Structure 1
Amino acid sequence: MSGQPYPIGVQGQPWGAAEKAAWRARQRKLRSHADEVVAKIDALRDRFDVEQYGELDYAPDGTYPLLAIRSRGWDDGLPTMLVTGGVHGYETSGVQGALQFVERDAAAYAGRANLLVVPCVSPWAYERINRWNPDALDPNRNFKSGSPARESAALLALVEPLAGRIAMHIDLHETTDSDESEFRPALAARDGKAYDPGTIPDGFYLCADSARPEPAFQQAINDAVAQVTHIAPADPDGTIIGSPVVAPGVIEYDCRALGLCAGMTDARYVTTTEVYPDSPRATPAQCNLAQAAAVVAAIDFALAHH
């Protein structure tokens, strides 16, 4: 293992229940889901329908409502656009960018598209600025049948009745310095593997689904975001986070095989955003704006080509 050993567990041995409990005991509430997310959703209720699609009981930490925002006057004859954020709770702009999109831009699509926006898939992790849920599970590797991650299972159940009717799904994420300082070392320790340090891309990029890459769709999003913040360059070896760059600011994953949120629907147009909030060239406000701009560009492209 490179660097200092992770403070939980024995090097080379996967965690058991005791190590996971020790990890959870280290987590502290650092911000309020009720104040920063629920209150903002409540403020939208006069213009949009708000649905509680589940509740997470994570005693002794409390219970968390799972909230979705829907277009008022839903019309099954219109294409449906799905926006998700906060699958990883520490990725702040995914949550706040989704809320900013609804507040600023969503009304423009009335009568043109059905919008389903889930701003904060993982509220416990949002409060603790963490990647995992309390069971030391990454929700973004558990979008699959019989998911052990309650956040993923609840979102799958919400979306299941819309099977075959979702035209576009954009999942909003960040890549942060803490990926290398905390989350990737924790992952290696949990799985009993060696931690191999990586790089953090400086800028915005997209992860397309290799099963349906739709390069023109990805380019349209990056073109829009480039008006707000910079697009991440490839590393010298032609990769971003170790994956080959297939177009400027675009890599690909097999989303369904990996259990990623972006693989949960049959939508033709699918992407995962990644923005870098720790860049000296970007502010948190820019990151939120970049996420909202990405959503607008994604919906506009899908409507133009649906």
Structure 2
Amino acid sequence: MSKIDRPEVAYPVGVPGTPWGDTEKTQWYTMQAIKRSYQEEVLSKIEQLSEAWQVEQYGALSYDPSRYPLFVLRSKNWQSNLPVALITGGVHGYETSGVQGALFFLQHFAQNYDGKVNLVVAPCLSPWGYETINRWNPKAVDPNRSFIFGAPSEETQAIMHYLKDNHIAPLVHVDLHETTDTDNSEFRPALAARDGVTHDNWDIPDGFYLVGDTKRSEDAFQKAIIDSVAKITHIAPADQNGNIIGDKVVQHGVIEYDCKKAGLCAGMTDAQYVTTTEVYPDSPKTDPQNCMEAQAAAITGALNFVLADS
């Protein structure tokens, strides 16, 4: 278990203990900068996949519509009698393997499920966040607390309306995330500053773990994913209190949240089988390739379980 003993210090925006207003949020936004290319690292790969997959644009971010179009890739051999699996990545743009892992799965494994399951893959829900390596959107809103219709996040509203308008009701949904050391160095301090609070839990788990849904636990499903990922990378142990990031471990490598209540991506549909992956890219035991492979193993573990169970 990795832990950064980080004393509470003043964040460079706002006054400690006072929630941000529009002025502070604008100041935070002006501090952000483009650090990598959505076009080169994501859109170019989607283009390469366009012959094998049905690529559909479901929106564009108003911050810069030409720079930030939003795409899903769907099975070309769509069959109405097959179950539907939804894969989402890049809800938090800075979590690189969520985006690249979804694309890696499409490149190397998805063809194995042709004719067995209808796939809908949205590899990068937050392209501005991807380019600026950010958790929030430009309005200092966390998309992964905003999967509720009417929430102030274009990123979440676009994909939710796409699924609703196209009557896509998945049986399984795998949402790809990371827990990183920058959660402690930047994102938790920013959250505390934005909301005018303090944070006491600075634990970062060393390894992969899952977040299930308290209302749709499906323990065997979660275990199948953990078993699949364990062949690729190490699973995070519980801490001395039996927790991971402050939440009780319900089985090896798995904690649970009420996803719909929290507005999480995993709660945006009524899928029976839902999970959120959490890769730890800062471990000395991993590298970017291993992280992408772990995300792909989570997806294949989920699909294999559901297909065997159906």
Q: Under a length normalisation based on structure 1, what TM-score does the superposition of the two structures give?
A: 0.97
1:139 and 2:143 are equivalent in the alignment: yes
1:52 and 2:57 are equivalent in the alignment: yes
1:33 and 2:23 are equivalent in the alignment: no
Cα offset for 1:2?
Answer: 3.8
Query: Match for residue 239 of structure 1?
Result: 243
2: distance between equivalents of 1:301 and 1:241? Answer: 27
Query: Match for residue 20 of structure 2?
Result: 15
Query: Match for residue 105 of structure 1?
Result: 109
Cα offset for 1:192?
Answer: 0.8
2:190 to 172, 186, 193: 186
1:305 and 2:309 are equivalent in the alignment: yes
Taking only aligned residues, the RMSD between alpha carbons, in angstroms, comes to 1.4
1:177 and 2:181 are equivalent in the alignment: yes
Report Cα offsets for 1:266-304 as digits up to 9, x if no partner: 111000000100001111110100000100111111112
1:168 and 2:175 are equivalent in the alignment: no
1: distance between equivalents of 2:42 and 2:211? Answer: 26
Contact 1:2–1:195 (CA<8 Å) still a contact in 2?
Answer: no
Q: Secondary structure at the match of 2:203?
A: coil
Contact 1:55–1:65 (CA<8 Å) still a contact in 2?
Answer: yes
Contact 2:93–2:129 (CA<8 Å) still a contact in 1?
Answer: yes
1: distance between equivalents of 2:291 and 2:210? Answer: 14
Report Cα offsets for 1:30-80 as digits up to 9, x if no partner: 000000000000000111110000001215x96300010000021111100
Cα offset for 1:195?
Answer: 2.9
Q: Secondary structure at the match of 1:256?
A: helix
Query: Match for residue 82 of structure 2?
Result: 78
Contact 2:84–2:120 (CA<8 Å) still a contact in 1?
Answer: yes
Contact 2:211–2:277 (CA<8 Å) still a contact in 1?
Answer: yes
Contact 1:180–1:197 (CA<8 Å) still a contact in 2?
Answer: no
Query: Match for residue 207 of structure 1?
Result: 211
1: distance between equivalents of 2:276 and 2:289? Answer: 19
Cα offset for 1:197?
Answer: 4.1
Cα offset for 1:163?
Answer: 5.3
1:95 to 94, 99, 104: 99
1: distance between equivalents of 2:117 and 2:166? Answer: 14
Report Cα offsets for 1:155-185 as digits up to 9, x if no partner: 1011114657311000000000000010001
1:216 to 220, 229, 251: 220
Report Cα offsets for 1:134-169 as digits up to 9, x if no partner: 000000000002121000000101111465731100
Query: Match for residue 157 of structure 1?
Result: 161
Q: Secondary structure at the match of 1:166?
A: coil
Count of residues in Structure 1 that have an aligned counterpart in Structure 2: 305
Q: Secondary structure at the match of 1:98?
A: helix
2: distance between equivalents of 1:66 and 1:225? Answer: 28
Contact 2:8–2:198 (CA<8 Å) still a contact in 1?
Answer: no
Gaps of 5+ in 1: none
Contact 1:173–1:274 (CA<8 Å) still a contact in 2?
Answer: yes
- Could you tell me which amino acid in structure 2 is paired with residue 187 of structure 1? L
- Could you tell me which amino acid in structure 2 is paired with residue 48 of structure 1? W
Cα offset for 1:115?
Answer: 0.2
Report Cα offsets for 1:83-141 as digits up to 9, x if no partner: 00000000000000000000111111111110000000000000011100000000000
Query: Match for residue 293 of structure 1?
Result: 297
Query: Match for residue 120 of structure 1?
Result: 124
Change (3 A) 1:53 1:162: closer
1: distance between equivalents of 2:168 and 2:73? Answer: 20
Query: Match for residue 24 of structure 1?
Result: 29
- Could you tell me which amino acid in structure 1 is paired with residue 258 of structure 2? D
1:129 and 2:136 are equivalent in the alignment: no
Cα offset for 1:198?
Answer: 1.4
Q: Under a length normalisation based on structure 2, what TM-score does the superposition of the two structures give?
A: 0.96
Cα offset for 1:252?
Answer: 0.3
Q: Secondary structure at the match of 1:158?
A: helix
